[in-house]
Amino acid sequence: MENILDLRKEQCPMNFVKTKMRLETMKSKERLKVLLTDSVAVNDIPLSLNEEGYKIIEKSEKDGVFELVIEKP
């Protein structure tokens, strides 16, 4: 996966804003991996994106870093 957005130093709401901005530049069915350390955002971002039709393909955590893999509709 080449689309990676590293937001480990960002907090809400900027991590959502930056994720949404990157997704808007992508084509349908492309996937974006987002790296986060904000535990609130790892729950809030998928909720907001699901409402807009995005698919959360994967949600995982390793050593305090959360990964979301999001597919653009």
> How many structural domains is the chain composed of?
1
What does pTM read for this prediction? 0.93
Please give the mean pLDDT across all residues of the chain.
95
Position 1 confidence tier, pLDDT thresholds 50, 70, 90: low
Task: Name the active-site residue from 12, 17, 21, 57.
Answer: 12
Mean pLDDT, range 15-23, rounded to an integer: 96
For the cut 90, the answer to whether the pLDDT of residue 9 exceeds it is yes
- Expressed as residue numbers, the domain containing 51 is 4-71
Edge to edge, the sheet with strand 31-36 lists 4-7, 31-36, 65-71, 55-62
Report pLDDT digits (tens) over 28-50: 999 999 999 999 999 999 999 99
| Residue 12 known to be catalytic | yes
The CATH number for 32's domain is: 3.30.110.40
